């Protein structure tokens, strides 16, 4: 029993916190989440193998780090139990201290729950596409994207996605997602993370002055040209507004459609045979591509298409964390009232 009580001492707390702080510094110095070859090439054979053996390539999920978290949690539990006596509840200061202990413990518990159970995923959605929540028999349908720019600037001021929430096939709400204004539904949070600009392109493709394809090329879809050689074209990049520096590098200038550029890759089966930057309004822009001339791309019309990048998060530990902060606030408030009285 004495050992149990001693484990709740301030010395143990400081030792564990110091170990966690030191370990976190090491975890930030070592690049995380790479493959084994990366660590051997960057840190050398011996050091790389040690990093991999100790699990330092995913340090914050390693056994060592989780043991430290467990020790801190146990220390907080013991410290809270040691400080709890019913007689303390008659003393406002001691009650405040107890609430502070409980608040820290609940926040820590919530952080642990989040660490091991939090789910997060990004979706790139075009108009009409949706995120399906099968367990809830619900779906979020992306309807429209809008972006506003600062006056006289091409810097986005605000962007938002209009979404519709359906439950059992019935429309429940129409919501506008904005940065820091998520939609919350049954433990899920839908955040406006970012956006992407693609395009539908009306284009004519020639090879040796012969038209091999002509029509509307839809965004995100490869363009298959049948016949001998069976070519496939993919729009690897679409940049809505660019500039070209003195070194010939193509730089994104803004997300507002202007001086557009497209990088088109050509494949024969799974082998890439050609890459080419295409600037609408010009033919091939050969000065920026050593292989220009194999294909001639004539862009007749560009229709910008916006995609919303939405992050879907489910965090079971969030409620514990908020409850813990409420307890901390209550403890601090009691201490302040005690000082005033």
Can you tell me the distance from the alpha carbon of 224 to that of 233, in angstroms, rounded to the nearest whole number? Answer: 6
- DSSP H stretches of helix in 171-210: none
- Per-residue confidence (pLDDT) for residue 289, from 0 to 100: 43
Helix (H) and strand (E) counts for the chain? 7, 15
CA 293 – CA 45 distance, rounded (Å): 46
Q: What 8-state DSSP symbol labels residue 137?
A: T
> pLDDT at position 283, please?
45
H or E stretch covering 133: strand 130-133
Q: Which of 3, 13, 8 has the alpha carbon at shortest distance from 84?
A: 8
pTM comes to 0.65
- Residue ranges for the chain with pLDDT beneath 50: 87, 283-292
Q: How far apart are CA 213 and CA 224, in angstroms?
A: 9
Count Cβ atoms within 10 A of the Cβ of residue 29 and give its class: 0-12 exposed, 13-18 middle, 19 or more buried.
exposed
Write down the pLDDT at residue 85. Answer: 57
Q: Residue 254: helix, strand or coil by DSSP?
A: strand
Residue whose entry in the numeric block shows the structure tokens 């370990």: 23
- Joined together, the tokens standing for residue 115 give 């660490």
CA distance linking residue 296 with residue 319, whole number of Å: 58
pLDDT tens digits, 218-252: 988 888 887 656 788 998 888 888 887 777 788 88
């Amino acid at each position: 029993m004495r050992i149990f009580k001693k484990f709740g001492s301030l010395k143990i707390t400081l030792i564990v916190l110091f170990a966690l702080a030191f370990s976190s510094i090491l975890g930030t110095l070592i690049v995380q989440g790479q493959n084994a070859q990366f660590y051997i090439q960057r840190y050398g054979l011996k050091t790389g193998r040690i990093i991999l053996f100790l699990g330092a390539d995913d340090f914050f999920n390693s056994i060592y780090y989780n043991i430290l978290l467990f020790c801190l949690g146990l220390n907080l539990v013991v410290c809270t139990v040691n400080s709890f006596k019913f007689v303390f509840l008659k003393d406002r200061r001691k009650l405040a201290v107890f609430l502070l202990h409980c608040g820290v413990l609940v926040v820590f518990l919530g952080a642990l729950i989040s660490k091991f159970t939090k789910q997060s995923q990004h979706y790139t959605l075009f108009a009409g596409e949706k995120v399906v929540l099968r367990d809830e028999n619900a779906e979020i349908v992306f309807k429209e994207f809008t972006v506003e720019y600062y006056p006289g600037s091409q810097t986005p001021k605000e962007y938002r996605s209009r979404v519709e929430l359906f439950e059992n096939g019935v429309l429940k709400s129409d919501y506008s997602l904005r940065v820091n204004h998520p939609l919350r539904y049954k433990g899920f949070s839908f955040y406006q993370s970012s956006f992407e600009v693609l395009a539908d392109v009306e284009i004519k493709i020639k090879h040796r002055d012969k038209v091999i394809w002509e029509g509307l090329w839809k965004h995100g879809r490869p363009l298959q040209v049948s016949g001998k050689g069976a070519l496939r074209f993919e729009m690897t990049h679409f940049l809505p507004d660019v500039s070209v520096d003195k070194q010939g590098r193509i730089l994104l200038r803004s997300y507002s459609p202007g001086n557009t550029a497209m990088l088109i890759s050509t494949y024969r089966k799974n082998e890439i045979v050609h890459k080419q930057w295409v600037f609408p309004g010009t033919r091939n822009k050969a000065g920026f591509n050593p292989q220009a001339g194999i294909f001639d791309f004539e862009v007749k019309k560009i229709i910008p298409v916006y995609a919303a990048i939405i992050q879907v998060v489910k965090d079971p530990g969030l409620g514990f964390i908020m409850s813990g902060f409420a307890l901390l606030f209550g403890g601090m408030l009691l201490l302040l009232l005690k000082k005033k009285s």
